[in-house]
Amino acid sequence: MKFVAQIAALSLLGASAAAAQPVGEAPRWSLAIHGGAGVIERTSLTPEQDAAYRAALQKALDVGSAVLAEGGEALDAVQAAIQVMEDEPLFNAGRGAVFTAEGRNELDAAVMNGRDLTAGAVAGLTTTRHPIAAARAVMERSPHVMLIGPGADAFAASQNLEQVEPAWFFTQRRWDQLIRALTEQGLPIPSRPADAPSSDAPGAQASGAPPLDERKFGTVGAVALDAQGRLAAGTSTGGMTAKRWGRVGDVPIIGAGTYASNADGCAVSATGSGEYFIRSTVARDICRRTAEGASVQAAADAEIAEVGAIGGDGGVIVMGRDGAVAFALNTSGMYRAEAGSMRADRVAIYADEDR
């Protein structure tokens, strides 16, 4: 694929330029983010919608890059970039998350520190504004790896993480998407949440947002390498529209949607049909491949081919220990962006997009 080849070539250029970098120059770092993969075609976005997504990605990239450029930690950059996207209604994470069949927003997130393989995850949050911050608190301030449901929100509150009314996460277009999905499935339509903003209230609509269908995954994620050579990965999502029975996808499952290991030279965040990504243990498997000597691009491509072979759709972002970035997807698009100390920012949407 021309696009993939170009990314790989760019990443290699970045790596070799950095290797030649004289001592005393700006430290080397690298960041990649995604805002979900899926059926995203040029014909399905107006120029305004296309521009709105690119601007949202650039904003998250800038915030994460600033952390790394100042010598900050990979983990802090990952969290900072994801929090921007959790607050952005265009993406299916935090505000703007999809609804369950019961008409609730239940949020999942995970983070992993590649330096020491510590990890934290949360599932089914309903009141914590930034699920990625809760995942990080689980990792750093609890003896556990994964917390779920009301207990996870209570833990986040006990760690002074901002709590919000569930209506904070409400957006009209996700609500409309739920109604369509439930109608198609012949399922009962829940009443509109009592505290939801009216459909014309500011914030209820995501400005510049296209109509939604279930072939777009709006999960957000980030992978980073900091100037000290530490790798980190994080992912945050509302899951799948009209999910039922406490369904949890790949995002908070360490090794499925999220994984990082300095020893393996790899950090991964995934987006796609979570049930398939769980069964393929996508993120861990990509790191096994890099540990065995594959390039990040080869590892990502091989894994996406495998998950595709069992019926999964989606994509991954992968960061190598040298700062090389790989994107791989088997859908027509993935909202994605990368930045690094030795290269220009890049923001892309469509699978075949050139720089």
Catalytic center residues: 219
Asked if 11 interacts with ligand ASP (CB under 6 A), we say: no
Closest-CA residue to 290 (of 312, 322, 254)? 322
Spacing of C-alpha 94 from chain mean position? 11
| Residue reference for tokens 């009216």 | 198
Cα–Cα distance, 24 to 144 (Å, whole number):
40
Asked if 155 interacts with ligand ASP (CB under 6 A), we say: no
> Are the beta carbons of 69 and 99 closer than 8 angstroms?
no
Q: Which of 133, 240, 267, 316 binds ligand ASP (CB under 6 A)?
A: 240
Residues 28-57: x/- map of binding to ligand ASP (CB under 6 A)? --------x---------------------
The torsion defined by the Cα of 119, 71, 346 and 283, in degrees rounded to 10, comes to -20
Compare residues 10 and 329 and give the one whose CB is closer to ligand ASP.
329
Question: How, if at all, do strands 314-320 and 107-113 pair?
Answer: unpaired
Asked if 271 interacts with ligand ASP (CB under 6 A), we say: yes
Compare residues 8 and 40 and give the one whose CB is closer to ligand ASP.
40
> Are the beta carbons of 336 and 328 closer than 8 angstroms?
no
| Residue reference for tokens 């970035």 | 325
**What's the N-to-C CA distance of the chain in angstroms?**
14
Stretch that binds ligand ASP, among 24-32, 78-86, 187-195, 214-222 (CB under 6 A): 214-222
Which residue is at the shortest CB distance from ligand ASP? 274
Q: Which of 64, 96, 120, 239 binds ligand ASP (CB under 6 A)?
A: 239
Asked if 332 interacts with ligand ASP (CB under 6 A), we say: no
CA distances from 142 to 19, 28, 155, 167 (A): 38, 32, 9, 28
Stretch that binds ligand ASP, among 15-23, 162-170, 199-207, 213-221 (CB under 6 A): 213-221
> Are the beta carbons of 337 and 324 closer than 8 angstroms?
no
Asked if 236 interacts with ligand ASP (CB under 6 A), we say: no
Asked if 218 interacts with ligand ASP (CB under 6 A), we say: yes
Q: Binding-site residue total for ligand ASP (CB under 6 A)?
A: 15
Asked if 276 interacts with ligand ASP (CB under 6 A), we say: no
Asked if 221 interacts with ligand ASP (CB under 6 A), we say: no
| Residue reference for tokens 């250029």 | 13
The DSSP element (H or E) to which 308 belongs, if any, is helix 296-309
Smallest gap from Cβ 224 to ligand ASP, in A, equals 19
Asked if 103 interacts with ligand ASP (CB under 6 A), we say: no
Site for ligand ASP, rule CB under 6 A: 36, 92, 217-219, 237, 239-240, 249-251, 257, 271-272, 274
